[in-house]
Amino acid sequence: MTAASPLAAERFRAIVPPLLDDAYSLAKWLCRDADDAHDIVQEAAVRALKALATTSVDRPKPWFLAIVRNAALTWMARNRRKDLAFAGDLADLETVAPLDADAGPDPEAALIALEDGVRLRKAIAALPPPLLEVLVMRDVNGLAYRDIAEATGLPMGTVMSRLARARGALAKTLKA
């Protein structure tokens, strides 16, 4: 591999490091494994560095998350069985629904929140991948519909439909 141009390296330093947490979160939800997510984000960063040698980026977050998404899909196609499941860990729950740090310690409330968090993570993990990726990009990474459409290559109406279906499936699962 050839060394990156100084311009590409400068663009990379400005764009990629601030987005690594979002990239890791997306990769972890998509591949359902923390260690694999690290590998995917590393691969995505390498791809981004190569692309920045010839590309100017106006909207970095959807651009980089699209690279992460594609790296995850490629990685999973090469390395995974199709029937793996993921329950996540408490760090994922904090990203989706942080506990109120200002509230006084209430063991009963903490236990209920923990149980609800486990149910929520399981419900999210059970979503089909097309719904899961849109939900994570919107509700975890905070992307706008337009940015999700750009990152996934889907029409905005499809993004909105998948997000509604994902939220509906979560509500149904959590209500049961």
- pTM for the model: 0.67
pLDDT of residue 37: 93
* Tally of domains within the chain: 1
Band of pLDDT at residue 82, cut at 50, 70 and 90: low
- For the stretch 110-129, pLDDT in tens is 655 656 667 778 888 888 88
Instruction: Look at residue 7 and tell me if it is in a domain.
Output: yes
- For the stretch 120-162, pLDDT in tens is 788 888 888 889 899 989 988 888 999 999 989 999 999 999 9
Who contacts 53 (Cβ-Cβ below 8 Å, separation ≥6)? 4, 5, 7, 8
Tokens of 7: 């311009």
Instruction: Look at residue 133 and tell me if it is in a domain.
Output: no
How many Å apart are CA 144 and CA 62, to the nearest integer?
Answer: 9
Q: Please report, for the domain that includes residue 57, its CATH number.
A: 1.10.1740
Domain range enclosing 49: 1-85
Please report the beta strands in 5-154, taking only residues with DSSP state E, as ranges in sequence order.
Answer: none
Provide the CB-side half-sphere exposure for 25 (13 A, CA).
21
Q: Of 4, 22, 9, which is closest to residue 62 (Cα–Cα)?
A: 22
